[in-house]
Amino acid sequence: MSPFRYARAADVSDAVRQAQAAGSRFLGGGTNLVDLMRETVERPTALVDVTGMPADIGESADGGLVIGAAARNTAVAEHPLIRTRYPMLSRAIVAGASAQIRNMATVGGNLLQRTRCAYFYDNGGSRCNKRQPGEGCDAIDGFNRYHAILGASPSCVAVHPSDMCVALAALDAAVNVESVHGARSLPFAELHRLPGDLPQIDTCLEPGELITALVLPPLPIARHSTYRKVRDRSSYAFALISVAAALDVQDGIITDVRLALGGVAHKPWRAHEAEALIRGKPPEPAVFLAAADAELSAAQPLPGNRFKIELARRTIAAVLSELAGEQA
Amino acid sequence: MTIAVNGTIVSLPDDPRVSLLDLLREHLHLPGTKKGCNQGACGACTVLADGERILSCLALAVQYEGRAITTVEGLATDEGLHPLQAAFIEHDGFQCGYCTPGQICSAIGMADELRRGVPSHVTRDLAAPVIALTHDELRERMSGNLCRCGAHNGIVEAIAETFAELVP
């Protein structure tokens, strides 16, 4: 691990001021960044510890929820209002990592965790455009079982690893950020980006911007929501495919739906096309499968992950059928 | 800059690169906590920070300034072994023993999470105020601790017996 300076931020303004120093990074629970530093994939010269920033979870004036970015993953998953109003978010969090890691990891850090592509981690042994721009990508012709089928580019086929973020994409969350230049809020869908020609850039945050809070809108449909993760072992593994979904059925017709996919792209994938095909239809497997087919029609699988198209298709239909069954 | 380890206040290292795991093993000579993968994949380094289970390999020691760390060395009292330690012996909850300190610290933290009502991946009813430590809940909640010897049956028996008040 390369040497670095460490300082604990006193408050948000102190944190963003300290982060102006070249080579500095914010440090949350450390569950991803410390590992990447040990592998010399990340080499910050200064760490600004932001675990002491606001971690409260509370109702907003409009009936939504505000979650301080320093809240630990476990605190979010166990919160009574999240369990009852946004169950897909609790379920997504407890589907990820292990209990020890969820006790350490912060919400802000979860949003900014980096891909677990093995070639990204293999510093010195493999080529990776995300780690070393312009170097090439060894995943495209390598072991790409876990890689993207949607929105990838010739320079990067990595996927975003977070489960929590898939739920947040489906929930139309917003992200509050702050820097020395001021505060702003951006839709969750605009936080992460597709790789294009700049796979080294994961998000649309400006340098020095700190995530201070997550904002969940009041969303009654989210009470009927869940998260399903399909992986190579039944616990403590990253997703092959995951589905976050919410469904509202009135008098035999789907009045509203939210659908997002994990394990398929460089960012949590909101399935807008499928949602549009589901609204107004009866909650039947054929409807769900047709919507999944439409969403996945743009998929470009790699030799090792062709199975993900059928797996995503079936998982989408199974999760939506489950939610429909609960409201029958 | 200090940290409490098993009730003793000690100084934190000057170099912020030192992990909590290396502080315990190399600086404080408490080798009970094990270094397995050193990348957050095996759970052998699990310790309790203010009663919560964490991975000491992914923790920079400086981040835990002022916190109270409990390792496997801190579980026994003058009265004898912690009941879970005794149960691991009784039920053969190990073969080589390398994962055992992490398993034991993890299970103690797990029991507290369950008493608090923290849900898991296999919890059916998220709204339930009380979650019972069923076989499936126990295995899911301990899935962050790997055992390459395959001593899982003994591990599960030892945990279920020790925390019998949580078992349905």
Question: Region A227-253: what's the mean pLDDT?
Answer: 97
* CATH architecture of residue range(s) A5-51: 2-Layer Sandwich (3.30)
pLDDT digits (tens, 9 = 90+) for B89-131: 999 999 999 999 999 999 999 999 999 999 999 999 999 989 9
pLDDT digits (tens, 9 = 90+) for A143-174: 999 999 999 999 999 999 999 999 999 999 99
ipTM score assigned to the predicted complex: 0.98
| Nearest beta carbon to residue A87 from set B106, B117, B126 | B126
Following DSSP, what letter does each residue of B49-65 receive, concatenated? Answer: ETTEEEEGGGSBGGGGT
Contacts of A272 (CB under 8 A, 6+ apart): none
Element of type H or E holding B47: strand B46-49
Show me where the domains of chain B are located: 2-74, 83-166
Distances (CA, A) of A204 to A156, A240, A251, A328: 17, 25, 42, 41
Q: Three-state SS across chain A?
A: CCCCEEEECCCHHHHHHHCCCCCEEEECCCCCHHHHHHCCCCCCCEEEECCCCCCCEEECCCCCEEEECCCEHHHHHHCHHHHHHCHHHHHHHHCCCCHHHHHHCEHHHHHCCCCCCHHHHCCCCCCCCCCCCCCCCCCCCCCCCCCCCCCCECCECCCCCCCHHHHHHHCCCEEEEEECCEEEEEEHHHCECCCCCCCCCCECCCCCCEEEEEEECCCHHHHCEEEEEEECCCCCCCEEEEEEEEEEEECCEEEEEEEEEECCCCCCEECHHHHHHHCCCCCCHHHHHHHHHHHHCCCCCCCCCCHHHHHHHHHHHHHHHHHHHHCC
Interchain proximity A99–B110, CB inside 8 Å: yes
Interchain proximity A236–B144, CB inside 8 Å: yes
| Closest CA in chain B for residue A121 | B39
Beta-carbon pairs below 8 A across chains A and B = 97
B46: β partners: B55
Element of type H or E holding B152: helix B152-162
A253: β partners: A250
**A74 in B contact zone (CB under 8 Å):** yes
Question: Region B12-24: what's the mean pLDDT?
Answer: 98
pLDDT for residue A82? 98
User: What's chain B's average pLDDT?
Assistant: 97
Answer for the pair A208, A161: CB distance below 8 angstroms, yes or no.
no
With vertex at residue A211, the alpha carbon angle to CA A206 and CA A212, rounded to the nearest 5 degrees, is 140
**Residue B25: both structure tokens together:** 């093993």
CA atoms within 13 A on the CB side of A35: 21
pLDDT for residue B152? 95
Distance from CA of B117 to the nearest CA of A (A): 7
Question: Region B135-153: what's the mean pLDDT?
Answer: 97
Interchain proximity B121–A91, CB inside 8 Å: yes
Counting residues of chain A whose pLDDT is more than 70, the rounded percentage is 100
Cα A259 versus chain centre, distance? 14
Interchain proximity A236–B110, CB inside 8 Å: no
Interchain proximity B58–A84, CB inside 8 Å: no
Superfamily in which the A223-326 domain is placed by CATH:
CO dehydrogenase flavoprotein, C-terminal domain (3.30.390.50)
* CATH architecture of residue range(s) B83-166: Orthogonal Bundle (1.10)
Residue A100: list chain B partners with CB under 8 A: 43, 46, 53-55, 106, 109, 144
Question: Region A241-254: what's the mean pLDDT?
Answer: 98
Distance CA(A9)–CA(A299), nearest Å, equals: 43
Show me where the domains of chain A are located: 5-51, 223-326
Distance CA(A72)–CA(B32), nearest Å, equals: 27
Distances (CA, A) of A216 to A159, A168, A246, A276, B15: 24, 8, 14, 22, 39
**A104 in B contact zone (CB under 8 Å):** yes
Widest CA span in chain B: 48
pLDDT digits (tens, 9 = 90+) for A19-39: 999 999 999 999 999 999 999
Question: Region B156-164: what's the mean pLDDT?
Answer: 98
Q: Is the pLDDT confidence value at A328 over 80? A: no
Question: Region A270-284: what's the mean pLDDT?
Answer: 98
Distance CA(B121)–CA(A87), nearest Å, equals: 12
Q: What φ, ψ does residue A133 adopt, rounded to 5°?
A: -50, 135
pLDDT for residue B110? 98
pLDDT for residue A327? 85
| Nearest beta carbon to residue A104 from set B59, B116, B140 | B59
Distance from CA of B147 to the nearest CA of A (A): 14
Distance CA(B27)–CA(B21), nearest Å, equals: 10
| Closest CA in chain B for residue A29 | B59
pLDDT digits (tens, 9 = 90+) for A104-150: 999 999 999 999 999 999 999 999 999 999 999 999 999 999 999 99
Distance from CA of B81 to the nearest CA of A (A): 24
Residue A38: list chain B partners with CB under 8 A: 38-39
Residue B121: list chain A partners with CB under 8 A: 91, 94-95, 235
Question: Region B5-24: what's the mean pLDDT?
Answer: 98
pLDDT for residue A27? 98
pLDDT band at A239 (very low <50, low <70, confident <90, very high): very high
**A16 in B contact zone (CB under 8 Å):** no
pLDDT for residue A217? 98
pLDDT digits (tens, 9 = 90+) for A178-228: 999 999 999 999 999 999 999 999 999 999 999 999 999 999 999 999 999
Distances (CA, A) of A4 to A39, A47, B27, B60: 15, 7, 20, 12
Question: Region B65-78: what's the mean pLDDT?
Answer: 98
Mutation to test the A interface, candidates B3, B12, B17, most A Cβ within 10 Å: B17
Domain B2-74 sits in CATH at: 3.10.20.30
Which residues of chain B have a Cβ shorter than 8 Å from any chain A Cβ?
15-17, 19, 38-40, 43, 46, 52-55, 58-60, 62-63, 65, 106, 109-110, 113, 116-121, 123, 126-127, 139-141, 143-145
Distances (CA, A) of A291 to A126, A256, B48, B133: 38, 14, 47, 39
Question: Region B9-26: what's the mean pLDDT?
Answer: 98
